[in-house]
Structure 1
Amino acid sequence: MTELDYRIERDSMGERQLPKDVYYGIQTLRATENFSISGLKPLSTYIDACILIKKATAIANGELGCIPDDIAKAIAQAADEVLQGQFRDQFVVDVYQAGAGTSHHMNVNEVLGNRALELLGAEKGNYQRVSPNDHVNYGQSTNDVIPTAIRIGGLLALTHSLYPALDSAIAALNEKAIAFQDVVKSGRTHLQDAVPVRLGEGFRAWARILGEHLRGIKYATEELCVLGLGGSASGTGLNTHPQYRFRVAELLGEYIDHPLSSAPHLMAAMQSMSPFVSVSGALRNLAQDLVKISHDLRLMDSGPKTGLKEIQLPPVQPGSSIMPGKYNPVMAEMISMVCFQVMGYDSAIALAAQAGQLELNVMMPLIAYDLINGIEILGHAISGLSEKCIQGITVQDDRCLDYAEGSLALVTALNPHIGYLNAASVAKESLETGKSIRQIVLEKDLMTEDELAQVLDLEKMSQLPTI
């Protein structure tokens, strides 16, 4: 690298050469050398969250006279450029990095500082004019910026990814519930015959389950809206203006269109990771039920000749490299894998959340990645399941009816009329002889034909009670 290709930057440890065209600085360079771990870089949503914080803090500090107005405006303009998609390749620190996220935090400060320098007509690296520490980071610390960024990133991911996906899936399930309401099928418990049920009610039950999870996640999310920003070092608020923390909360709320407030105790907001654990736990609960639903869809679609085949999931790609004409329930398989990953993230978040000491949790980079990525991949997976699977499901009416009429569990409806032991005897004989339940009951003269017809009315039997 010739002298024309690089600039020299200095920090408390010495000086280093950096390519002239990069916007990050010496601290970011050191981090890339120290943490070549996974190749995973910060999530786009997490970058957005950090940049929004820096924009809000620059404007607030400019308004309050803490940094020069022209520098505040240049930092805010640089932030807007990043939010519009520029300089995204300049955020280069590995996810697994310095505890608490100092390396990524300085990466953000340096990129915005160097771009602000250009906007003010100066050269990158001229930190006497605009300093990543003294101006971009004025009144801030990794201690309060990173937990705030996790909150903002989580809210952005939920709003843009998970909530719309769940709304769409719930609507699709309710549409199928209406379409399949008159389809009677055999219920199954322990994977054995159970009393008949309505296929539509099964889809309605899934919609209700997802709706309850959506409400639970939104409830847990309320904790994300209380910010510790302004706590600075250790939650003391050192080097901040008295009105700063309230103004930045107000500005951030405007940016993300969500009401935010400053925490009543900044040290508590900095130390505890419980808001992230709560949201992650709500995601885990959703994931567990989604796995169950995906397994149910696969079972009901199993076949086509040797399985249940009560429904047909839409084929979206060939299913085998060797068996022609085979189609697999790939969207249902995919969402299970995503859910397993989200449940794994939840375990990692729980471990990281309790691993802080005294005034700081130093495992926040892991929490940030796992929480935000978990929200986003779950949202993408639910969208895929809804659009490429649920919306296109069709029903095999005759197959469902055959199973319902042939189910040994029909004898359950006979209990009040012939008694449990007689009903069990009828079921056993039906299984051994192949005779229908109706035939055996009439042969044994246990009920009249009219009585039996009323009791074994499949539509009436499968109708849920109304409230």
Structure 2
Amino acid sequence: MKTRTETDTIGPIEVPADRFWGAQTQRSLENFKIGTEKMPIAVVRAFAELKKATAIANGQLKDMDARKVTAITYAADQVIAGKLDDHFPLVVWQTGSGTQSNMNMNEVLAYIANDYLDEQGHEDVRVHPNDDVNASQSSNDTFPTAMHIATVVYAEHDLLPALQQFEATLAKKEADFKDVVKIGRTHLQDATPLTFGQELSGFRHMLATCTKMVRESLHYVRALTIGGTAVGTGLNAPIGFGAAVCEQLSKQTGVTFQPSENYFHGLTSHDELTHFHGALKALAADVFKIANDIRLLASGPRCGIGEVTIPANEPGSSIMPGKVNPTQSEALTMVAAQVLGNDATIGFAASQGHFQLNVFKPVIIYNVLQSMRLLADGLNNFHDKCLIGLEADEEKMNQYLGDSLMLVTALNPHIGYENAAHIAKKAHAEKTTLKAAAIASGLLTEEQFDQYVVPKNMIASK
């Protein structure tokens, strides 16, 4: 492998000749050979957006050479466009401040910027990773800023659209099945009836509520720590730098950001992301419930509940011919399990802010982004491969409705709870219908039973 020699404050080190990073990135590669989890590309793109915005702000507030600003902006745009992904190889398990990922970005942008300057005939102008790309900044304020940028952008562009699509399809199914009466179930036992549309309305409202919670909690993540530099004092950054960067970032991304109200908080606390992930945890709990309910309602096809049918996407067994499994429910519930585990990691990591810095930043953002990605992908996949094709088996629903003993609840106002319980127990013990047991008890006539026990009259409160 051909190499070139790069130098940092530690000394010289060999770097692959075809890679655009410098000495500090290479040292990180050699010093942190832990796992296979790479710094998420969403963080890389967020960093590039940030470095572009800081270069422009430095040009405005610090009189940075306009040629350097243009060159850094050009280089950042290449990263944002996804043209340089291979030049960001670092793992999550590095320094807890994310310093090496910050320097990886600084080095790559400086390399590309200097090539650009050469092409423009400005060989006399050089962009330095620290002095120029990192001007007015510290890893301590850039990494948490990139964390927030990546989170807000991904949530708005991917997660929220997935939630909205899922909710819209549930609303359509709710309308389609608004008049299909079926038996309810509580404690896994028969309960009073409802419509299938009402059951689906509960799912829809879960998604609507989670969408609201995600949006509300995202508000806090829009606050950026850029401008606090090393410990929150803003040392080496010009006055108004944070506000200028936030304004520029909002223009670049189309997403609203504002400066943190307190940089000392922003460097050492990640309560905003912990709070935001709490909304993701709530969403995970709800999608777990939805996927599980659909799996149980579709169980069978002959020896389970079988009230709904779901698409047959692939063979379900390597030994049992014709078997079809609820694989989309299984995948989505595994996603939910992962998100719930991620929340435990994030909560613990966020508690580790010591003095002026939390040094668990990479693992926090890795888990936040993984949760969002899994939920967005999982919801989209379940929507396309299962939810759209979900149908009610009305014949089966009617069968269970007619067999249920809990329709006896409609008799409570007329004959009392204890008498109604006697009828239900009699029907169950003698394996007869409720109607037959009621008539045999002498408490009701056939006409009275037919008048009082009407399932469609039991589905809405008066």
> Which TM-score tier does this pair reach, normalised by the shorter chain?
over 0.9
Q: State the distance in 2 between where 1:307 and 1:127 align.
A: 77
- Structure 1 residue 446 corresponds to structure 2 residue 443: yes
Specify which of 67, 72, 81 is matched with residue 75 of structure 1. 72
Q: Which runs of 5+ in 2 are unaligned?
A: none
2:6 aligned partner: 9
Query: Cα RMSD (Å) of the superposition?
Result: 1.6
1:148 aligned partner: 145
1:128 Cα deviation (Å)? 8.5
Q: State the distance in 1 between where 2:125 and 2:46 align.
A: 27
1:156 Cα deviation (Å)? 1.1
Q: State the distance in 2 between where 1:454 and 1:178 align.
A: 28
1:421 aligned partner: 418
Specify which of 306, 309, 318 is matched with residue 309 of structure 1. 306
Specify which of 41, 57, 73 is matched with residue 54 of structure 2. 57
1:264 Cα deviation (Å)? 2.3
SS in 1 for 2:273: helix
Q: State the distance in 2 between where 1:350 and 1:343 align.
A: 11
1:20 Cα deviation (Å)? 2.1
Does the 8 Å contact 2:427/2:433 carry over to 1? Answer: yes
Does the 8 Å contact 1:63/1:69 carry over to 2? Answer: no
Of all paired residues, the percent bearing the same amino acid is: 38
Q: TM-score, normalised by structure 1?
A: 0.96
2:182 aligned partner: 185
Specify which of 72, 89, 92 is matched with residue 89 of structure 2. 92
Specify which of 86, 95, 103 is matched with residue 106 of structure 1. 103
- Structure 1 residue 168 corresponds to structure 2 residue 159: no
Does the 8 Å contact 2:21/2:108 carry over to 1? Answer: yes
Q: What per-residue deviation string (whole Å, max 9, x for no partner) do you get for residues 41-79 of structure 1?
A: 121211111110001001111122342110111010011
Q: TM-score, normalised by structure 2?
A: 0.97
Q: Counterpart amino acid of 2:202? A: A
Q: State the distance in 2 between where 1:14 and 1:93 align.
A: 20
Q: Counterpart amino acid of 1:299? A: L
Does the 8 Å contact 1:184/1:198 carry over to 2? Answer: yes
Specify which of 273, 276, 279 is matched with residue 276 of structure 1. 273
Q: Counterpart amino acid of 2:415? A: I
Q: Counterpart amino acid of 2:368? A: L
Q: Counterpart amino acid of 2:193? A: P
Q: Counterpart amino acid of 1:209? A: M
Q: State the distance in 2 between where 1:323 and 1:88 align.
A: 45
2:130 aligned partner: 133
Q: State the distance in 2 between where 1:46 and 1:425 align.
A: 65
Q: State the distance in 2 between where 1:223 and 1:65 align.
A: 29
Q: State the distance in 1 between where 2:258 and 2:141 align.
A: 14
1:127 Cα deviation (Å)? 12
Q: State the distance in 2 between where 1:128 and 1:358 align.
A: 40
1:465 aligned partner: 461
Q: Which moved more, 1:58-67 or 1:244-253?
A: 58-67
2:405 aligned partner: 408
Q: Counterpart amino acid of 2:252? A: Y
2:286 aligned partner: 289
